[in-house]
């Protein structure tokens, strides 16, 4: 193996080859495996994708990579590196096994035929790995052009939109959320054709953004990103893209995702302009009423009826199987009476996203037009709105 080590010294930046031998703390290893394992495909026809790639370099760093070809996650921790090198290890098995080990140091060593030996305390295990050469190349974070984004802002935007993304594979341009970056603001929009969630945050300093940068982020990548943002102490993340790939660098972790191609619909055209009848209610009251009434809605459509009359909001539902139910909330309302039907689950999704606190404003035009909901929280910097197509009832 001397030639391999000799070569790797000459090309310090090349991917490490050679028979990896390291020792690493269980707590650190488990933390990184936990972050990376969600990217690994459970059911894959390409066996190497079920494996983690481990790469150890002489500077005492262990890098762990997982990919399903659509996205990848690369993360790292410190390790005592006896021999720099690389190997691949079955991801699920390794993760489950490391979880069962006691605290302490774990030694990992690449043996012949791609077997990997794992020793910890009195446990000694050998796992069947695969050739490092089979592991797909993962795109590198671009050297220039990254935009710094506040972690807290992006985390909030993902939470407020991800539930409105379409699940229908055929409508693939709706299988993601649109991120819109400008020099002083950022926005995110998601829709499934029946509803649309739109959030905009003012007062952001986004250096390096000229005009408007629009990026479609796949739902799966948003799910991964949301996990990374929830588990970081970093205040900012780096976002970059090239022709095919999106890159998110959060602390020491890099998530990549293949771009969604195609045009996101012109959402600005559906934002209601003249919903001049409105009512303001406590989120908690509305949530409770919808949950009770929805028990008796038609199971397939989940439709419930909202009736606005003088100083009262009435919610009702009925189905031949379950029966009928009605709930009312007292609230100032002085416009013409209005009856409109909505999918109860869609209403609840929004109320859960705003955390079921404070008050919410419901705005209507008539029974045939889209309704709009927004939190009545007086936050000038963050504008959040949720648009819902009505249902026939």
pTM of the prediction?
Answer: 0.90
Match 């006691």 to its residue by tokens. 102
Cα dihedral sign for 146, 151, 153, 159? positive
SS3 content of the chain, % helix, strand, coil (to 5): 25, 40, 35
What tens digit of pLDDT does each residue of 197-231 get?
999 999 988 988 989 999 999 999 999 999 999 99
64 touches 108 (CB < 8 A): no
DSSP 8-class letter at 130: B
Where exactly does CATH 3.10.150.10 map onto the chain?
Answer: 2-134, 147-268, 272-388
- Superfamily for the 2-134 domain: DNA Polymerase III, subunit A, domain 2 (3.10.150.10)
Q: What is the arithmetic mean of pLDDT over 361-388?
A: 94
176 touches 216 (CB < 8 A): yes
What tens digit of pLDDT does each residue of 9-60 get?
333 344 556 789 999 999 999 999 999 999 998 888 999 999 999 999 999 9
CA distance 54 to 114: 12
Give me the half-sphere count of Cα atoms (radius 13 Å) on the Cβ side of residue 251. 17
What tens digit of pLDDT does each residue of 102-144 get?
999 999 999 999 999 999 999 999 999 999 999 999 999 999 9
What tens digit of pLDDT does each residue of 242-293 get?
999 999 999 999 999 999 888 898 999 889 999 999 999 999 999 999 999 9
- For position 17, what pLDDT does the model report? 62
User: Across-strand partners of 141?
Assistant: none
Angle at Cα 232 formed by Cα 228 and Cα 233, nearest 5°? 165
Interacting residues of 305 by C-beta distance below 8 A, sequence separation 6+: 314, 315, 316, 317, 339, 340, 341, 393
DSSP 8-class letter at 331: -
177 touches 191 (CB < 8 A): no
Give me the half-sphere count of Cα atoms (radius 13 Å) on the Cβ side of residue 120. 19
- For position 174, what pLDDT does the model report? 84
Cα dihedral sign for 306, 308, 309, 312? positive
CATH class of 147-268: alpha beta
- For position 325, what pLDDT does the model report? 97
77 touches 28 (CB < 8 A): yes
Q: What's the length of the chain?
A: 393
- For position 41, what pLDDT does the model report? 84
DSSP 8-class letter at 326: E
What tens digit of pLDDT does each residue of 327-366 get?
999 999 999 999 999 999 999 999 999 987 899 999 999 9
CA distance 254 to 274: 44
- For position 298, what pLDDT does the model report? 92
Distances (CA, A) of 243 to 213, 246, 306: 14, 9, 46
Q: Domain 272-388 classified CATH 3.40.50.620? A: no
Radius of gyration of the chain (CA): 26
CA distance 158 to 156: 6
């Amino acid at each position: 193996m001397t030639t391999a080590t000799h070569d790797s010294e000459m090309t310090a930046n090349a991917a490490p080859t050679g028979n990896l031998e390291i020792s690493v703390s269980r707590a650190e290893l488990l933390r990184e495996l936990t972050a990376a394992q969600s990217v690994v495909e459970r059911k894959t026809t390409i066996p190497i994708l079920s494996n983690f790639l481990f790469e150890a370099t002489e500077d005492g760093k262990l890098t762990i990579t997982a990919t399903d070809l659509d996205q990848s996650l690369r993360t790292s921790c410190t390790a005592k590196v006896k021999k720099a090198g690389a190997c691949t290890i079955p991801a699920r098995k390794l993760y489950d096994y490391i979880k069962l080990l006691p605290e302490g140091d774990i030694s990992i060593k690449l043996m012949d035929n791609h077997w990997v030996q794992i020793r910890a305390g009195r446990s000694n295990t050998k796992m069947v790995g695969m050739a490092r050469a089979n592991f797909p190349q993962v795109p590198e974070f671009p050297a220039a052009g990254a935009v710094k984004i506040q972690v807290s802002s992006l985390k909030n935007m993902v939470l407020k939109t991800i539930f409105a993304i379409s699940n229908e594979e055929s409508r693939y341009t709706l299988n993601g959320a649109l991120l819109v970056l400008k020099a002083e603001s950022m926005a995110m929009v998601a829709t499934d054709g029946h509803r649309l969630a739109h959030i905009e945050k003012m007062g952001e300093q986004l250096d390096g953004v000229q005009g408007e940068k629009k990026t479609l982020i796949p739902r799966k990548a948003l799910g991964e990103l949301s996990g990374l943002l929830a588990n970081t102490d970093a205040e900012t993340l780096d976002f970059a893209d090239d022709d095919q790939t999106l890159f998110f660098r959060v602390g020491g972790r890099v998530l990549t995702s293949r771009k969604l191609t195609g045009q996101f619909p012109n959402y600005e055209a559906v934002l209601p302009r003249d919903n001049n009848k409105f009512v303001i209610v406590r989120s908690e009251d509305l949530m409770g009423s919808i949950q009770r009434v929805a028990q008796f809605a038609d199971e397939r459509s989940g439709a419930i009826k909202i009736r606005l009359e003088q100083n009262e909001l009435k919610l009702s539902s009925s189905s031949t199987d379950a029966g009928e139910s009605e709930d009312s909330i007292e609230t100032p309302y002085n416009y013409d009476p209005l009856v409109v039907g909505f999918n109860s689950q869609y209403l609840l999704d929004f109320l859960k996203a705003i955390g079921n606190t404070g008050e919410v404003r419901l705005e209507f035009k008539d029974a045939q037009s889209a309704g709009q909901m927004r939190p009545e929280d007086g936050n000038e910097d963050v504008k959040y709105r949720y648009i819902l197509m009505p249902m026939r009832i």
